[in-house]
Amino acid sequence: MDIVSLENVSYQYEGTKKPVLKGVNARFSCSRIYTIVGKSEAGKSTLLSLIAGLDVCTEGDVFYKGTSLKKIDRDDYRAKNIGVIFQGFNLLTNATGIENIVLSMWISGNREKNKKEYAYALLEKVGIDRETANRKVLKMSGGEQQRVCIARALSNNPGIMLADEPTANLDSDNETAVLNILASLARDEGKCVIIATHSQKVASIADEIWGINDGRLLFVKHS
Amino acid sequence: MYIFVNAIKNIGRNKGRNILMGVIILITITVSIISLCINNTTNSIIDDYKSRFGSEVTIAPDMTKVTRVMNINDVLSARKTTFKAITPQQYLDFARSEYLKEAVITASAGVAGDGIKAVDEDNNQGVIGRAIDSITGSLSGDDYAMPTMTLIGNQWDEFNKGYRKLAEGGKMPENDNECIISKELADLNNLKVGDKIKLKSSVIRISDNNEQEIKNNTVELTITGIFFDATEEYSTQVKISSLNRRNEILTTIDTMFNNFGSLIGVNAKYYLKNPSMLEDFEAELRAKGLDEYYLVSTDEAGYQKVVGPVEGLKKGSLTFMIVVLIFGSIILMVLSSIAVRERKYEIGVLRAMGMKKKKVALGLWLEMLIITALCLAIGFGIGSVVAQPVSDTLLAGQIENAKMAANQGILQGGPMVGSGVLLGRPIEKEPVPLEQVDVSVGMDTIIEMAVIALALASLASLTAITKITKYEPIKILMERN
Q: What percentage of residues in chain A have a pLDDT greater than 70?
A: 99
Residue B58 belongs to a domain: no
Based on the domain organization, do B315 and B426 belong to the same domain? yes
Interface ipTM: 0.90
Based on the domain organization, do B266 and B359 belong to the same domain? no
Residue B76 belongs to a domain: no
Q: Which residues contact B341 (CB under 8 A, 6 or more apart)?
A: B467
CA–CA min distance A32, chain B (Å): 23
Q: For residues B236 and B66, which has the higher predicted lDDT (pLDDT)?
A: B236
pLDDT, position B436: 67
Interface contact A54-B350, CB threshold 8 A:
no
Domain-ending residue, one of B236, B264, B290: B290
pLDDT of A194 over the 90 cut: yes
Which range is least confidently modeled, A155-164, B26-35, B59-68, B71-80?
Answer: B71-80
State the Cα–Cα distance between residues A22 and B231, nearest whole angstrom.
Answer: 106
Residue B69 belongs to a domain: no
Q: For residues B252 and B212, which has the higher predicted lDDT (pLDDT)?
A: B252
Residue B361 belongs to a domain: yes
Contacts 24+ apart (CB under 8 A), A180-189: A181/A125, A181/A126, A181/A150, A182/A33, A182/A150, A183/A33, A185/A154, A185/A161, A186/A31, A186/A32, A186/A33, A186/A161, A187/A31
Q: Which residue of B has its CA nearest to A93?
A: B346
If you average pLDDT over residues B187-204, what whole number do you get?
89
pLDDT of B194 over the 90 cut: yes
Based on the domain organization, do B245 and B377 belong to the same domain? no
CA–CA min distance B6, chain A (Å): 8
**Residue A131 confidence class, pLDDT cut points 50, 70, 90:** very high
Residue B206 belongs to a domain: yes
Interface of B with A in 382-421 (CB under 8 A): none
pLDDT, position B467: 76
Chain A interface test: which of B1, B345, B349 (most A C-beta within 10 Å): B349
Interface contact A107-B348, CB threshold 8 A:
no
Based on the domain organization, do B257 and B129 belong to the same domain? yes
Chain B interface test: which of A106, A135, A138, A165 (most B C-beta within 10 Å): A106
Residue B60 belongs to a domain: no
**Residue B417 confidence class, pLDDT cut points 50, 70, 90:** very low
Residue A121's φ and ψ, nearest 5 degrees, are: -65, -40
Q: The domain containing residue B275 runs over which residues?
A: 86-290
Q: For residues B116 and B402, which has the higher predicted lDDT (pLDDT)?
A: B116
Is residue A54 within 8 angstroms of chain B, CB to CB? yes
Q: pLDDT per residue over B374-384, tens digit each?
A: 998 998 888 88
Based on the domain organization, do B268 and B377 belong to the same domain? no
Based on the domain organization, do B155 and B39 belong to the same domain? no
Interface contact B348-A90, CB threshold 8 A:
yes
Based on the domain organization, do B272 and B327 belong to the same domain? no
pLDDT, position B410: 45
pLDDT, position B421: 29
Is residue B346 within 8 angstroms of chain A, CB to CB? yes
Domain-ending residue, one of B290, B320, B346: B290
Interface contact A54-B352, CB threshold 8 A:
yes
Is residue A92 within 8 angstroms of chain B, CB to CB? yes
- The alpha carbon of residue B308 and the mean position of all alpha carbons in its chain are separated, in whole angstroms, by 13
Interface contact B2-A79, CB threshold 8 A:
no
pLDDT, position B427: 34
Is residue B103 within 8 angstroms of chain A, CB to CB? no
Interface contact A94-B13, CB threshold 8 A:
yes
Directed axis angle between helix A97-108 and helix A115-125, to 10°?
A: 120
Chain A interface test: which of B353, B356, B357 (most A C-beta within 10 Å): B353
Interface contact A79-B354, CB threshold 8 A:
yes
Q: Which residues contact B273 (CB under 8 A, 6 or more apart)?
A: B55, B99, B100, B101
Burial class of B474 by CB neighbour count within 10 A (0 to 12, 13 to 18, 19+) = buried
pLDDT, position B10: 84
Which region holds residue B115: left if phi is over 0, alpha if psi is between -120 and 50, else beta?
left
State the Cα–Cα distance between residues B29 and B39, nearest whole angstrom.
Answer: 15
**Residue B409 confidence class, pLDDT cut points 50, 70, 90:** very low
Interface contact A77-B354, CB threshold 8 A:
yes
SS3 per-residue string spanning chain B: CHHHHHHHHHHHHCHHHHHHHHHHHHHHHHHHHHHHHHHHHHHHHHHHHHHHHHHEEEEEECHHHHHHHCCCCCHHHHHHHHCCCCCHHHHHHHHCCCCEEEEEEEEEEEEEEECCCCCCHHHHCCHHHHHHHHHHCCCCCCCCCCCCEEEEECCCHHHHHCCEEECCCCCCCCCCCEEEEEHHHHHHCCCCCCCEEEEEEEEEEECCCCCEEEEEEEEEEEEEEEEEECCCCCCCCCCCHHHCHHHEEEECHHHHHHHHHHHCEEEEEEEECCHHHHHHHHHHHHHCCCCCCEEEECCHHHHHHHHHHHHHHHHHHHHHHHHHHHHHHHHHHHHHHHHHHHCHHHHHHHHHCCCCHHHHHHHHHHHHHHHHHHHHHHHHHHHHHHHHHHHHHHHHHHHHHHHHHHHHHHHCCCCCCCCCCCCCCCCCCCCCCCCCCCCCCCHHHHHHHHHHHHHHHHHHHHHHHHHHCCCCHHHHHHHHC
CA–CA min distance B478, chain A (Å): 9
If you average pLDDT over residues B110-122, what whole number do you get?
88
pLDDT of B228 over the 90 cut: yes
pLDDT of B414 over the 50 cut: no
Structurally, how many domains does chain B consist of? 2
- Could you tell me if A119 and A99 are in contact, meaning their C-beta atoms sit under 8 angstroms apart? no
Directed axis angle between helix A97-108 and helix A74-81, to 10°?
A: 120
Q: pLDDT per residue over B257-313, tens digit each?
A: 888 766 677 888 888 887 778 889 999 999 998 888 888 888 776 667 767 777 777
Is residue A147 within 8 angstroms of chain B, CB to CB? no
User: Which structural domains are found in chain A, ordered by start?
Assistant: 2-222 (3.40.50.300)
- Could you tell me if B7 and B366 are in contact, meaning their C-beta atoms sit under 8 angstroms apart? yes
Based on the domain organization, do B285 and B312 belong to the same domain? no
If you average pLDDT over residues B128-142, what whole number do you get?
55
Is residue B13 within 8 angstroms of chain A, CB to CB? yes
Interface of A with B in 65-84 (CB under 8 A): 75-80, 82, 84
Is residue B472 within 8 angstroms of chain A, CB to CB? yes
Burial class of B267 by CB neighbour count within 10 A (0 to 12, 13 to 18, 19+) = middle
**Residue B481 confidence class, pLDDT cut points 50, 70, 90:** low
- Provide the pairing of β-strand B196-206 with B178-182: unpaired
Based on the domain organization, do B247 and B342 belong to the same domain? no
If you average pLDDT over residues B193-221, what whole number do you get?
80
Of A75, A79, A103, the CB nearest to B6: A103
Based on the domain organization, do B271 and B308 belong to the same domain? no
Mean pLDDT of the residues in chain B: 79
Interface contact A88-B481, CB threshold 8 A:
yes
Residue B193 belongs to a domain: yes
- Could you tell me if B217 and B93 are in contact, meaning their C-beta atoms sit under 8 angstroms apart? no
Based on the domain organization, do B36 and B183 belong to the same domain? no
Residue B425 belongs to a domain: yes
Domain-ending residue, one of B290, B321, B344: B290
Q: Which residues contact A75 (CB under 8 A, 6 or more apart)?
A: B351, B354, B355, B356, B357
pLDDT of B424 over the 80 cut: no
Q: Which residue of A has its CA nearest to B349?
A: A90
Based on the domain organization, do B308 and B285 belong to the same domain? no
Q: For residues B146 and B81, which has the higher predicted lDDT (pLDDT)?
A: B146
* Highest mean pLDDT pick, A209-218, B201-210, B264-273: A209-218
